[in-house]
């Protein structure tokens, strides 16, 4: 990691062509670098052995690959691993990234911001406040430099931050992950989660084929507003109305995340309102247990009511599952990520 150098990671073939042209190198060098980055996952310019030694040395004067290793990791008893990655959006800043193995699947939960502006009442990242947007290289690096990178089957943008608030970078990462010249992943393996942000969500839906997950948490305007200030700018009804304009009946999936707060948002009134809200939209609902955070006086999930909610919604045509809480013992579960402490320490 050399912060005085520019990073190749995150650049597209077109951008790499500009870079090599500036050095007076042949245009095909851009293709070679693209392959070293996104097919062979080289960690250093020196590994790019089909580029002449002299050109590698010239490139390395200004650039590095930019694969920055995690500086810390914590392991949960359930196999989940939480990494602490350095990022470039401000001195001494870090984000957390979670590796979640599950049978023959392995999911990475990626962060896109240091903290978050959205200030949801129940979220530890929200409590941190916003400290900066990650660059494309910072986001991609969490996948690139994760020790388990080769085993990954799925990516979820459900770590720190609101993806629609850093949309250019998110779209670029999705492009690199799915492009023929990139990782060549199917968009079906990537899910971007959002609270719903006006104009941005539409742009994401238009410009990407990856799945979308919307954090609903209440179908009722007043209650959602209390839990999530973002409801003011883009009410859940408007979000659903927008989603109705897209086709989720084939490859692309639309899901809603719903944290269960016992007695607060898991009643029959809520169940009926959810069914009414999503009527006619091809979607599924994921119920999540509330992972308690300090200073948020919200009730934990009631398991029985959660199961009743799941069954009622499913019986009424809204396929619903309960998401397993993973990595709770190392504060890696949904909504528990925060780097406020590490950032300050630095």
Contact residues for ligand SAM, defined by CB under 6 A: 122-123, 125, 158, 162, 193-195, 215, 257, 259, 288, 290-291, 293, 334-335
Q: Which of 308, 303, 295 is nearest to 128 (CA)?
A: 295
- Nearer CB in complex with ligand SF4: 274/334: 334
Q: Is 303 a catalytic residue?
A: no
Asked if residues 176 and 137 have their Cβ atoms less than 8 Å apart, the reply is no
Catalytic residue among 64, 96, 162, 257: 96
Residue 334 binds: one of ligand SAM, ligand SF4, none (C-beta under 5 to 8 A by kind): ligand SAM
What does the H/E/C string look like for 6-67? Answer: EECCCCCHHHHHHHHHHCCCCCHHHHHHHHHHHCCCCCCHHHCCCCCHHHHHHHHHHEECCC
Which conformational region is residue 327 in: left (phi greater than 0), alpha (psi within -120 to 50 degrees), or beta? left
CB of 181 to ligand SAM, least distance (A): 28
CB of 31 to ligand SF4, least distance (A): 38
Residue 81 binds: one of ligand SAM, ligand SF4, none (C-beta under 5 to 8 A by kind): none
Instruction: Say how many Å lie between the first and final Cα of the chain, rounded.
Output: 16
- Nearer CB in complex with ligand SF4: 36/258: 258
Q: Is 96 a catalytic residue?
A: yes
- Nearer CB in complex with ligand SF4: 30/112: 112
CB of 17 to ligand SAM, least distance (A): 34
Question: Interface with ligand SF4 by CB under 6 A: which residues?
Answer: 116, 118-120, 123, 125-126, 161-162, 195, 215, 335
CB of 85 to ligand SF4, least distance (A): 17
CA dist 265 and 336 (Å) reads 20
CA dist 321 and 48 (Å) reads 46
Asked if residues 111 and 337 have their Cβ atoms less than 8 Å apart, the reply is yes
Q: Cβ-closest residue to ligand SF4?
A: 126
Residue 288 binds: one of ligand SAM, ligand SF4, none (C-beta under 5 to 8 A by kind): ligand SAM
CB of 158 to ligand SF4, least distance (A): 8
Residue 257 binds: one of ligand SF4, ligand SAM, none (C-beta under 5 to 8 A by kind): ligand SAM
Catalytic residue among 109, 112, 174, 334: 334
What are phi and psi for residue 264, nearest 5 degrees? -100, -45
User: How many CB atoms sit inside 10 A of residue 336's CB?
Assistant: 20
CA dist 260 and 177 (Å) reads 32
- Nearer CB in complex with ligand SF4: 7/291: 291
Asked if residues 7 and 64 have their Cβ atoms less than 8 Å apart, the reply is yes
DSSP 307: H
- Nearer CB in complex with ligand SAM: 291/326: 291
Beta-carbon contacts of 257 under 8 Å, excluding residues fewer than 6 positions away, are 193, 213, 214, 215, 216, 217, 286, 288, 323
* CB-side neighbour CA atoms (13 Å) of 224: 24
CB of 170 to ligand SAM, least distance (A): 11
- Nearer CB in complex with ligand SAM: 158/264: 158
CA dist 81 and 148 (Å) reads 10
Active site residues: 96, 334
């Amino acid at each position: 990691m050399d912060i005085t150098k520019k990073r190749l990671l995150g650049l597209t073939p077109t951008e790499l062509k500009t870079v090599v042209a500036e050095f007076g190198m042949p245009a095909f060098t851009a293709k070679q670098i693209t392959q070293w980055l996104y097919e062979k996952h080289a960690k250093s310019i020196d590994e790019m052995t089909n580029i002449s030694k002299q050109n590698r040395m010239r490139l390395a004067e200004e650039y590095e690959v930019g694969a920055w290793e995690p500086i810390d990791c914590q392991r949960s008893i359930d196999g989940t691993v939480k990494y602490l990655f350095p990022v470039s959006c401000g001195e001494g800043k870090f984000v957390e990234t979670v590796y979640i193995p599950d049978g023959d699947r392995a999911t990475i939960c990626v962060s896109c911001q240091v903290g978050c502006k959205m200030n949801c009442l129940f979220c530890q990242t929200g409590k941190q406040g916003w400290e900066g947007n990650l660059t494309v290289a910072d986001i991609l690096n969490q996948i690139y430099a994760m020790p388990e990178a080769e085993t990954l089957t799925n990516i979820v943008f459900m770590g720190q931050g609101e993806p629609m608030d850093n949309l250019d970078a998110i779209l670029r990462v999705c492009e690199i992950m799915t492009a023929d010249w990139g990782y060549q992943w199917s968009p079906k393996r990537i899910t971007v989660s959002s609270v719903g942000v006006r104009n941005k969500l539409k742009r994401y839906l238009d410009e990407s084929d990856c799945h979308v997950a919307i954090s609903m948490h209440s179908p009722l305007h007043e209650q959602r507003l209390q839990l999530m200030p973002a409801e003011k700018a883009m009410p859940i009804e408007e979000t659903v109305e927008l989603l109705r304009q897209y086709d989720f009946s084939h490859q692309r999936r639309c899901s809603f995340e719903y944290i269960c707060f016992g007695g607060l948002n898991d009643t029959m009134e809520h169940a009926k309102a959810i069914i009414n809200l999503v009527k006619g939209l091809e979607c599924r609902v994921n119920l999540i247990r509330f992972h308690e955070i300090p200073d948020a006086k919200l009730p934990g999930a009631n398991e029985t009511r959660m199961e009743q909610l799941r069954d009622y919604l499913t019986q009424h045509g809204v396929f619903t599952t309960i998401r397993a809480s993973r990595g709770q013992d190392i504060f890696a579960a949904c909504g528990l990520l925060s780097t406020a402490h590490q950032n300050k320490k630095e």
